[in-house]
Amino acid sequence: MTKVILLVLIFYILALAQASFLVHFQIFGMVLNVSLILVVLINIFESPQKYLGLHGSLISGFFLDIFSTRPFGFWILIFFLVAIFIKLIFRKYVRIPFIART
Amino acid sequence: MLFAILAVAVIMTLNFFQNPVRNFFYLVSAPIHKTLWGAGERVSDFFETIAEFKNLKKENEDLKLKINSLLAENAQLIELKNENKILKTALNLGLQEEFKLTLAQVIGKDISQDSLLINKGAKDGLTKNLPVITEQKNLVGRISEVYNDFSKVMLISSKDSSFNAKVSEQEIFGVVKGKGGLDLFIDRVPQDKELKVGDILVTSVLGGIFPKGLLVGEIREIKKSDLEPFQQAEISSFFDIGKLGNLFVITPS
């Protein structure tokens, strides 16, 4: 539960920074999506059997949706699909020695 | 499966209530949002300045060139404005109807020789002895030398200048001569004619050098002696040599 609360705080700050600070730094017309990077990293380095990455994807998607002009659920869906995809790949095809499989 | 359905249901519900939800988060985040936005702008400006440094130097040089060009254009426009003003004055006096005029600018003055240099010459159709006046119809002098692009004007105060003049609206004739040093006087005025200080002198048709009716000056001091057959008077010319900028040359029509 503590981890989830921590994730909520982190993703809230990241979404806020994304919408207010990082929008000023466009590279080839695109803005770096730090929330997506964090979601990907959590899902890669987390054990495939744990769900924190999936929770994180929902939370970060929710906050990005709050600060975006797209229909609600757009980022939640994308992040959730990305997290599921990574989980699936890692569960079935990839083994990283220092990440324990439980 | 149940979780997925639940998630979709929550998302759909949130879409219906997105306005109050978003409003709540915007309200809570506003102070941080504002601060981060300002910081983002400053940092981005800083990096942009570094990235644009090379271009800035070139842009600066280009802008300097542009400023110089605009300053030159501005000076030219001021010149044209002044010229326009003078032409308007001349037009109001009806000079253009009376004479054929060529506008010229004074580009040099030689007070010791009572002469001026103007920027119009033979190329502009000027010839020797053409009268030169101001926009107020004041006689300045006549052209003494003509070059291709320039002409020398001998002022009426030159020692070599003499021409016939008369007192305005009276039949008193005389010869106006230059004394040099920007002074001039009228001579050959018969003793029986009564000159007054302040009388205005205009050119007369008798001499044939200048057209009649051009303003010469006003009588400043009368020198009358019973021993002399004629009386003389000192004249103050109407033009101020220090302020002469644009002149008109009366060309033959």
Task: Give the CATH number, domain containing residue B241.
Answer: 2.40.10.350
Query: Which residues in chain B touch residue A58, judged by CB atoms under 8 angstroms apart?
Result: 7
- Name the average pLDDT for chain A: 85
pLDDT at A29 over 80: no
Q: Is the pLDDT of residue B198 over 80?
A: yes
Question: Based on the domain organization, do B112 and B183 belong to the same domain?
Answer: yes
Residue B57 lies in a domain: no
In this structure, of A45-59, B62-76, B80-94, B222-236, the range with the lowest mean pLDDT score is B80-94
Residue B158 has pLDDT above 80, yes or no: yes
Residues from chain A contacting residue B14 (CB–CB below 8 Å):
72-73
Q: Between chains, do B43 and A24 touch, taking CB under 8 Å as contact?
A: yes
Distance from CA of A96 to the nearest CA of B (A): 28
Range B175-184 average pLDDT: 89
Q: What is the Cα–Cα distance from B56 to B62, expressed in whole angstroms?
A: 10
In a domain, B69, yes or no: no
Which residues, 6+ apart, have CB-to-CB distance to B222 below 8 Å? B195, B196, B197, B231, B232, B233, B234
Q: What is the pLDDT of residue B224?
A: 84
For residue A80, the chain B residues in CB contact (below 8 A) are 7
Confidence category of residue B234, pLDDT binned at 50, 70, 90: very high
pLDDT score, position B235? 93
Cα distances (angstroms) measured from residue A95 to each of A42, B144, B170? 15, 108, 124
Looking at the structure, tell me whether residues B155 and B232 fall in a common domain.
yes
Determine the pLDDT at residue B249.
92
B110 plus B173 within the same structural domain? yes
What was the ipTM of the complex prediction?
0.77
Q: B33 and B105 in one domain?
A: no
Contact state of B47 with A71 under an 8 Å Cβ cutoff: no
Is residue B92 assigned to a domain?
Answer: no
pLDDT grade for A24, boundaries at 50, 70 and 90: confident
> What is the number of other CB atoms lying within 10 angstroms of the CB of residue A86?
22
| Chain A residue whose CA is closest to B38 | A21
Picking from A21, A67, A73, the nearest residue to B40 by CB comes out as A21
Q: Quick check: B74 pLDDT over 60?
A: yes
The answer to whether position B68 is within a domain reads no
Give the H or E element holding residue B220.
strand B215-223
pLDDT for B131 beyond 80? yes
B171-179 mean pLDDT:
90
Q: Mark whether B222 and B162 lie in a shared domain.
A: yes
The count of domains in chain B is 2
Mean pLDDT of chain B: 86
Residue B221 lies in a domain: yes
Of B12, B25, B40, the CB nearest to A24: B40
Smallest Cβ–Cβ distance between B15 and the set A22, A23, A72 belongs to A72
Q: Does residue B83 sit within a domain? A: no
User: Residue B56 above 80 pLDDT?
Assistant: yes
Note whether B43 and B115 are same-domain residues: no
pLDDT at A39 (0 to 100):
92
Q: CB A24 to CB B36 under 8 A? A: no
Please report whether residue B76 resides in a domain.
no
Q: Which domain holds residue B106?
A: 100-253
Same domain assignment for residues B33 and B106: no
Which has more confidence, A5 or B94? Answer: A5
Which of B29, B34, B45 to mutate: most A Cβ within 10 Å?
B29
Question: Residue B59 falls within a domain, yes or no?
Answer: no
